[in-house]
Amino acid sequence: FDLYLTSIYFTVTTITTVGYGDISGNQTNLEKIFCIFIMAIGVIAFSFASGSLASIIQNYDTQNAKLAEQLNILNRVYKDYFLPLDLYTRLKQSLKYNFSQDIDDLNDFLKDLPHNLKIELSLYIHEETYKHIYFMKDKTMSLIAWICPLLKTYLVTENEYVYFEGDEIVNVQFMKKGSCGFVLPKFNNAKYINIQ
């Protein structure tokens, strides 16, 4: 038994790359068993920690790679089609803002849930959105849970127009934060109404 235990101790010490060091547990069988146990736990904990860290870094790199790919496409379009610098800057800001929100993963997760759980979770996730939109005040929970995941965030910078007179309206805009104005081109873009 002593010989087998010593060989297992030697093997575990070698495989776990803990080494032999100044302190060793080769005096009694109990010390050897204890050291084998501690070394195995140490290697398992280290493997778990390094695996988790690698997973976090890989996930972060995947998100950054998606953004980098979108920005590369934008740069190619900018060069190939000679976009105005102002439009290019707004598109770039919008891409970065949308990627920072990370809403798409949540919406994909919500799609797979049963209807009741989907409504309940959607209300918690989108609470900040629907509580600030006057249109949603008297709507049913089902309608709010259905509409909120469909909403897309859109960053509008200062002095940027959302619509021009005569534009085809294809989206409904809800302002979550900030202020905007209704201007009249006939009067040199004088602000007619200020909306907060």
Q: Is the dihedral of CA 171, 126, 147, 71 positive or negative?
A: positive
pLDDT of residue 60: 75
**What is the pTM (predicted TM-score) of this model?**
0.45
Specify the higher pLDDT residue, 139 or 187.
Answer: 139
Specify the higher pLDDT residue, 194 or 126.
Answer: 126
- Greatest Cα pair distance in the chain: 99
Residues 41-93: tens digit of each pLDDT: 888 888 899 888 888 888 777 778 888 888 898 889 888 888 888 888 888 88
Judged by DSSP in three states, 1 sits in: coil
pLDDT of residue 160: 81
Where residue 2 falls among pLDDT bands split at 50, 70, 90? Answer: confident
Please provide the size of the chain in residues. 196
**Stretch 165-174: mean pLDDT:** 83
Burial tier of 99 (Cβ tally within 10 Å: 0-12, 13-18, 19+):
middle
Does the pLDDT value for residue 23 go beyond 60? Answer: no
For the chain, give the mean pLDDT. Answer: 79
